[in-house]
Amino acid sequence: MKKTIVVLLSVLFLLPAFVLPCLAEGVRLDRAALDRPHVIDEADLLTDAEEAEFSKRAEEIETNSGFDVIIVLENGTSGDSDVDMANEYFRARFGDGKDQRGGLLFITESGFTTMFTNLTRAADDNSEEANQYKISDLLSDHAYAEACRAFVDHVQYLAEPEPANILADGASSAETGLPRVVDEADLFTADEEAALSSRIAAVGSEFSFDVVVVTTTDLGGKSDMAFADDYYDYNGYGYGENKDGCLLLIHMDADRGYWISTTGLGIKALSDADIDRIGEDIVPLLTAGDYAAACDTFLDDVSEEVNIAINGRGFRPMLLVIGLVIGLVVAFVVVSSLKGQLKSVRFKPGASDYFVNGSLALTGAYDVLVGHHVTRTKRQNESSGSSTHTGSSGTSHGGGGGRF
Residue 251: which residues within 8 A CB-CB, separation 6 or more? Answer: 185, 215, 216, 217, 219, 224, 227, 257, 258, 259
Distance CA 230, CA 359 (A): 85
Please report the pLDDT score of residue 362 as a whole number. 63
Residue 31 has pLDDT above 70, yes or no: no
**Greatest C-alpha distance within the chain:** 153
Please report the pLDDT score of residue 338 as a whole number. 72
Residue 130 has pLDDT above 80, yes or no: no
Percent of the chain with pLDDT over 90: 36
Distance CA 329, CA 336 (A): 11
Please report the pLDDT score of residue 122 as a whole number. 54
> Cβ distance 215 to 250 under 8 Å?
yes
Residue 282: which residues within 8 A CB-CB, separation 6 or more? Answer: 258, 294, 295, 297, 298
User: DSSP strand E in 123-190: where?
Assistant: 181-183
- Of residues 36 and 221, the one with the higher pLDDT is 221
Q: Model confidence at 23, in pLDDT bands (50, 70, 90)? A: very low
What would the mean pLDDT of 306-311 be, rounded to a whole number?
Answer: 92
* 326 is a domain residue: no
Distance CA 180, CA 171 (A): 17
Which value, in Å, is the radius of gyration of the alpha carbons in the chain?
35
CA 170 to chain CA centroid, nearest Å: 23
* 205 is a domain residue: yes
Please report the pLDDT score of residue 61 as a whole number. 85
Same-domain status, 190 and 123: no
Residue 208 has pLDDT above 80, yes or no: yes
Residue 24 has pLDDT above 50, yes or no: no
Same-domain status, 177 and 294: yes
Residue 13: which residues within 8 A CB-CB, separation 6 or more? Answer: none
Which residue(s) pair with 72 in the sheet?
40, 106
Please report the pLDDT score of residue 353 as a whole number. 66
Same-domain status, 139 and 255: no
Please report, to the nearest 10 degrees, the dihedral formed by the alpha carbons of residues 163, 184, 155, 149 taken in order. Answer: 160
Structure confidence by residue, pLDDT tens digits, 341-397: 666 666 666 666 666 666 666 666 666 666 655 555 444 444 456 789 988 888 999
Which residues in 190-217 are b (16+ Cβ under 10 Å) and which e? Answer: eebbebbeebbeebbeebbbbbbbbbbe
SS3 397: strand
pLDDT averaged over every residue in the chain: 78
Segments forming the whole domain that contains residue 303? 173-312+390-403
* 330 is a domain residue: no
* 362 is a domain residue: no
Same-domain status, 123 and 200: no
* 16 is a domain residue: no
Name the range with the highest mean pLDDT among 3-7, 96-100, 172-176, 299-303: 299-303
What would the mean pLDDT of 189-203 be, rounded to a whole number?
Answer: 93
Q: Which secondary-structure segment (H or E) carries 237?
A: none
SS3 304: helix
* 59 is a domain residue: yes
> Cβ distance 33 to 95 under 8 Å?
yes
Residue 186 has pLDDT above 60, yes or no: yes
Same-domain status, 73 and 115: yes
Please report the pLDDT score of residue 200 as a whole number. 94
Which residues in 77-92 are b (16+ Cβ under 10 Å) and which e? Answer: beeeebeebbbbbbeb
DSSP string, 92-125: HHHTTSSS--EEEEEEETTEEEEEEES-SSPPPH
Structure confidence by residue, pLDDT tens digits, 144-163: 998 898 888 888 777 766 54
Same-domain status, 198 and 111: no
Look up residue 201 and give its amino acid: A
pTM of this structure: 0.51
> Cβ distance 147 to 111 under 8 Å?
no
* 352 is a domain residue: no
Same-domain status, 155 and 186: no
Same-domain status, 188 and 302: yes
* 164 is a domain residue: no
Same-domain status, 143 and 180: no
- Of residues 47 and 171, the one with the higher pLDDT is 47
Same-domain status, 131 and 181: no
Last residue of a domain, one of 159, 184, 214: 159
Counted domains in the chain = 2
Q: Model confidence at 110, in pLDDT bands (50, 70, 90)? A: confident
Structure confidence by residue, pLDDT tens digits, 259-294: 999 999 999 999 999 999 999 999 999 999 999 999
Query: What CATH number is attached to the domain comprising 183?
Result: 3.10.310.50
- Of residues 65 and 239, the one with the higher pLDDT is 239
Last residue of a domain, one of 111, 126, 159: 159
Residue 77 has pLDDT above 50, yes or no: yes
Same-domain status, 153 and 208: no
Look up residue 108 and give its amino acid: T
Same-domain status, 399 and 252: yes
Residue 30 has pLDDT above 50, yes or no: no
What would the mean pLDDT of 53-57 be, rounded to a whole number?
Answer: 90
Last residue of a domain, one of 126, 159, 192: 159
